[in-house]
Structure 1
Amino acid sequence: MLKPEENERLTRVGPGTPMGEVFRRYWIPALLSEELPEPDCPPIRVRLLGENLVAFRDTNGTVGLLDRYCPHRRVELFWGRNEECGLRCVYHGWKFDVAGNCVDMPNEPTESNFKQKVKITSYPTWEKAGVIWTYMGPKDWMPPLPDYEWVRAPETHRHVSKTFEACNWLQGLEGGIDTSHSSFAHNNNLADKNALRTRAPSPKLEVVKTDYGFRYAGIRDLGQDGNYVRAYQYIMPAQQMRGAMTKWKDGSREEFPAIAGHIWVPIDDESTWVWNFIYSADKQIPFTPEFVLEHETAFGRGPNDLLPGYRLKRNPSNDYLIDREVQRIQTFTGISGINTQDYALQETAAPIIDRSLERLGTADAAIIAARHLLLEATRDVEQGKAPRGTRADSYRNVRACDKILPAGIDWKEALKEEMTAQF
């Protein structure tokens, strides 16, 4: 459990809040590249960490991320004209470049130097892996650009998507690093008693703290078959990485290893962008369109599962289309889509869970460790220190994996190679 004041520290993300200032020490995903598909395309509204912003791709293809409101009369720049390397407010014609400089002020006398005194808040952006990243913190604390293995993986070996979740970011993260719930919430075949996570539903957890977060394993005892080890990475402040055996290879249903995960980026205190990535663990095996379609559909975010704005069709308004007959005879939840099952539990608990009422057990060791690290990060930032995971060299060589090991083998030694980046 957390004390109410600790829960407040970890869940509130607006400017000046302890966790908001922690997030502002990292590069975070802001948009998919596809949301700004070409130079001078229409601008779009963005909300991150409780701030209302507007994004546009200028004539040169550079992405700007600005305060949504014009500093003149505070109208929305979303209505602006994206033209000739700047976003022009349609109220009085003031125009701003991607750095927030006012480059034209046509309603003022031509001899006026007023425009040189006007600047709008802007955040730097960087585009890689189909993602537009931003840094919203103090310039002096800007960390190196993101260097996760999935970002370096070739486009042919990687897929990235995002979905909207209507709850606090910490609920999503804690679900992602909770390995034991996969034996229940994600049991989609009740008849298969040989499934690894069904055979051993109570994993032993081992957590090893690192300078980027921690790595940990859920170890399930399979008796004479050894131990099924699901080895995760938690990268500060909000990224989970796990092994993901997949069944598509060269267009055929053949199992091969992949690595998947999420980043939970707060929109505000009560809503979150969930960034989803998966990449091939084998340089020789690229993804096929068939694999990507099946993977996204299995997790509940296929083309037929989404509403405009990357929102799920299955949502609280329709009880996630739960099928009680399917729940009775086929799946544990009766809800279709692996991540949709998570959303149903996380979105309907409360916008922000009161963690002072929880009763945690040994299966929650990773959640407890993450809370300790996040609280530590809030203190570090308040004391003028860099939090864990801001140095790219601390996390760039990590990956996750699933594997069955002989009983008595130390996973930390046995999985060193499998948990070392190859791209």
Structure 2
Amino acid sequence: MLTAEENETLTRVGPQTPMGRMMRRFWMPIATSAQVPEPDGDPLRARLFGESFVVFRDSAGQIGVLDELCMHRGVSLALGRVEDGGVRCLYHGWKFGADGTILDTPNHCSERFRTRMKAPAYPVVEAGGLVWTYIGPKKQQPPFPHFAFMDVPEENRTVIRANVACNYLQLYEGGVDSSHVGILHSNQANPTWKAGEFTANDEDDNPGAISVADNAPALEIEDTAFGFHYVAKRVASVSEDGTPAHSIRTTPVFLPVGRVIPAPTVEFYVFEVPLTDVETATFIVIYGDRPVSRPRFMEMLGLDDERFFDEASADFLGHRLPGFGQDRPSMATGWTGLRGIQQEDATLALSMGPIVDRTKEHVVAADRAIMHLRAQLLESVRGHEAGGHPLGLVADYGPMRSLCDTDLEPGQAWQDHVPGNRTVTTVADDEQMATTS
């Protein structure tokens, strides 16, 4: 159980909050590449940590991230025109380049002014189907992070964004909760679990398809440079001498907003990016060593249902539907009255309210990873407020891997299946090695 003060620290992400200051030390996805698909296309209004930005692709294809409000009189540049190398404000025609350079001021013909001033602009990198930006202190800007999904051909990767109207931590905690998979997602994991039966789902791209019926996995946690990884050990069988054999599933949790969810042939990188205290952009990057089908995963996630998801805005709409859109009659044969992994996860997070009161909960052993996540985030905030690096500030996440359901041999360490997770180093470690070498 958390105190009210700790819950406040964990959930508030504005510019003047400890969590907001810590999170601003990381590069963050602010949009998908598909949201700004072509040069001189429509600008995108974007939120991040309670602040407003405009994202646009200029005539040369360069992405820009600027403060949303025009530096002249505060009109939204998201209403503007993207043309001739920049974004132009409708009010008085001021035009800005992707780097904030003032390109034109039709109502103020002063070249000296244009060269002396500059609009607030932020570093941008487009990689892995995402637009990334850094809005923290310039002198503390870390190296741009590398993830394994950035290395595959585009056809082997799909990127999905869903904006959910609740605090980021409710979604993040759900993502590091292995015990809910066989229950909440039982329509996909094990539809017959209520009858005491188990029929394995053989879909090799489905993270909800667990291999055994155990819904109370034992968790073991190990801290890493990126945060921590943990194993969920499910009893697969018991020998004559009473020794259990285990199926294991390992999840990396990388601070401050990410996790990797495994399936046999693909990995799901999930970023729960706070837009405001009560709005979250869930960015899901699915990749593997073969082409992936976006329609297939939209259906698996339940985002192919227009009642629940508006792809144009990327808004998840469950909170606007009567009864969260739950189909109660279907519960006679199914479990949730919902369809799809993200539809179920997002709906339950929304049902908690905009920010859940964690002082009233009663956690159990199956919640160990959630409690560890909270502890690490609080430690990271406190260390950062004291002048240190945040926990999990990493430049190269390339070796980081999840592990789908795998038999653990007697005497074998679960970490041996994901050796790369222990080789990842922090930015602070990299700086130390550079200093001493």
Aligned to 2:431: none
* Structure 2, unpaired ranges of 5+: 201-209, 239-243, 424-437
Q: TM-score, normalised by structure 1?
A: 0.89
Q: Give the counterpart of 2:332 among 325, 328, 334.
A: 328
2: CA distance, partners of 1:49 / 1:149: 26
Q: Give the counterpart of 1:259 among 267, 289, 314.
A: 267
**What is the deviation of 1:377?**
1.3
**What is the deviation of 1:417?**
5.7
Asked whether the 8 Å contact 2:399–2:420 carries over to 1, the reply is no
**What is the deviation of 1:103?**
2.5
Q: Aligned letter for 2:280?
A: T
Is structure 2 residue 313 aligned with structure 1 residue 309?
yes
2: CA distance, partners of 1:313 / 1:170: 19
Cα displacement string for residues 79-107 of structure 1 (whole angstroms, at most 9, x for unaligned residues): 22212212121211222111222232221
Cα displacement string for residues 364-393 of structure 1 (whole angstroms, at most 9, x for unaligned residues): 111111111111111222122221222223
| DSSP-derived class of the 1:123 partner | coil
Asked whether the 8 Å contact 2:40–2:57 carries over to 1, the reply is yes
Asked whether the 8 Å contact 1:230–1:242 carries over to 2, the reply is no
Aligned to 2:55: 55
Aligned to 2:430: none
Is structure 2 residue 224 aligned with structure 1 residue 210?
yes
Aligned to 2:370: 367
Asked whether the 8 Å contact 1:401–1:418 carries over to 2, the reply is no
Aligned to 2:434: none
Matches within 5 A, 1:193-272: 193-194=197-198, 195=200, 196=210, 199-224=213-238, 226-245=245-264, 257-272=265-280
2: CA distance, partners of 1:349 / 1:28: 26
Is structure 2 residue 352 aligned with structure 1 residue 349?
yes
Q: Aligned letter for 1:27?
A: W
**What is the deviation of 1:406?**
4.3
Is structure 2 residue 420 aligned with structure 1 residue 412?
no
Is structure 2 residue 400 aligned with structure 1 residue 391?
no
2: CA distance, partners of 1:218 / 1:316: 35
2: CA distance, partners of 1:362 / 1:41: 50
Cα displacement string for residues 113-168 of structure 1 (whole angstroms, at most 9, x for unaligned residues): 22334322211110011111111111121111121112222222221111011100
Asked whether the 8 Å contact 1:320–1:340 carries over to 2, the reply is no
Q: Aligned letter for 1:213?
A: G
Asked whether the 8 Å contact 1:147–1:396 carries over to 2, the reply is yes
Asked whether the 8 Å contact 2:149–2:287 carries over to 1, the reply is yes
Aligned to 1:275: 283
2: CA distance, partners of 1:173 / 1:160: 18
1: CA distance, partners of 2:147 / 2:71: 37
Q: 1:219 to 1:197 in 2, by over 3 A?
A: same
- Once structures 1 and 2 are overlaid, which stretch shifts more, 295-304 or 332-341? 295-304
Q: Aligned letter for 1:396?
A: G
Q: Aligned letter for 2:252?
A: Q
Q: Aligned letter for 1:32?
A: T
Is structure 2 residue 187 aligned with structure 1 residue 179?
no
1: CA distance, partners of 2:402 / 2:177: 15
Asked whether the 8 Å contact 2:224–2:422 carries over to 1, the reply is no
Asked whether the 8 Å contact 2:87–2:96 carries over to 1, the reply is yes
* Structure 1, unpaired ranges of 5+: 246-256
Q: 1:16 to 1:213 in 2, by over 3 A?
A: same
| DSSP-derived class of the 1:275 partner | strand
Asked whether the 8 Å contact 1:105–1:115 carries over to 2, the reply is yes
Q: 1:315 to 1:350 in 2, by over 3 A?
A: closer
Asked whether the 8 Å contact 2:171–2:272 carries over to 1, the reply is yes
Cα displacement string for residues 22-49 of structure 1 (whole angstroms, at most 9, x for unaligned residues): 1111111111111111111121211111
2: CA distance, partners of 1:312 / 1:385: 37
Asked whether the 8 Å contact 2:168–2:273 carries over to 1, the reply is yes
**What is the deviation of 1:269?**
0.3
How many residues were matched structurally? 401
Q: Aligned letter for 1:322?
A: Q
| DSSP-derived class of the 1:46 partner | strand
2: CA distance, partners of 1:24 / 1:191: 45
Q: 1:67 to 1:391 in 2, by over 3 A?
A: same
2: CA distance, partners of 1:48 / 1:4: 24
**What is the deviation of 1:315?**
4.0
What RMSD over aligned residues (CA atoms) do the two structures have, in Å? 2.1
Q: TM-score, normalised by structure 2?
A: 0.86
Aligned to 2:129: 130
Asked whether the 8 Å contact 2:216–2:366 carries over to 1, the reply is yes
Matches within 5 A, 1:5-84: 5-84=5-84
Aligned to 1:191: 192
1: CA distance, partners of 2:153 / 2:419: 20
Asked whether the 8 Å contact 2:225–2:422 carries over to 1, the reply is no
| DSSP-derived class of the 1:326 partner | helix
2: CA distance, partners of 1:36 / 1:370: 33
Asked whether the 8 Å contact 1:41–1:56 carries over to 2, the reply is yes
Cα displacement string for residues 241-270 of structure 1 (whole angstroms, at most 9, x for unaligned residues): 12113xxxxxxxxxxx22113100011000
Matches within 5 A, 1:77-92: 77-92=77-92
